[in-house]
Chains A and B, each alone.
Chain A
């Protein structure tokens, strides 16, 4: 009896499905109406000694456009030498430097196991004369924010023989810039992580900051400890 009931149920199900009339592949609207990335062709000059990219391998990344639209899962590389975001169009395999003014933020996924968040910030250049927009890694955001521009600079050049031909190669190296955003929205910049130089930026809070460094055994020459210090300052120092 039980077997017949099961058989009957199965027959009903099969017959119901046989009459199913909605078997339509529904087009996914989002994939059709995504905003389009815009950029110019990127010619990758390879005559460098050192890495010009923050991530040498193409990373999967998301982009927040200045219009507020998110674009997901694009193959991206951040070029620290030119401060450009490079996009590999997997449709035509062209490499394009994306229009900078169109990009507000981007995330590079799974770089050494972590997602790296970059944001475009407007800061003064070293001469403090004009302001420029740069992509900087977001480390801390709060009352005090810390952004690190993963800048790569040419520090010299070398003549190199390749297959009997003499080439001139540029020596490049990471020269990060640390931008601390104050509650007043002004940026302070450090090119090197030194305790004295950092304390000079906050003359009125010097003692409090020195105490935090001492109590937490921080070596601010190390980037990790410096990030930790900014986090602690956000919690403990009245700015």
Chain B
């Protein structure tokens, strides 16, 4: 992928970029897949005291393997506390105690609103997606939201087919009027770079490109006219240590297959 340093995949770049954005001591609400990889990577690198919270009610989980589901036994066995589902949502997530919530989605719009419900018409969907899960309240209540998804005109759309989770609604002031405690989407980490909301308008703006990616690629992969920051940064290439640690993270299935 890049001239110098080790070869890596776009997905690995995403996980590394997300992990770097977590601070030691952050409490984060994690889902399965890339967010779980990123958070577990951060915990093994610069953020050993990062607290992983899974919606199954496992608080402070320290899994050796990457979980395949949010309720794997290993999460409960290694957690500081295991609580019920009503408790994790009512007592821990919704009061706004958690620093970072990770979300994925099938679609995102320019204000960071997310669709994980349907593609097409709700009554006669082209694709029925899993639905809201924990996303709406994660999006409303965590202090910050990191979104991770592949950037393409199919995912970065002018208009969502369904608004499952509010990012910034129709722009500045929307979250405040809805009474949401959290700051909303602060980082959108894609395979091409990172977008952050404009401080004034809350429109997602390209602030960082991954190594070797051109602005035109990011623009072409966005279904609206993408704003680009004046001081566009380049993400550092993943280090040997980051890649080695990331690649050592395996699910039990992958371990058995190896």
| A and B: interacting chains | no
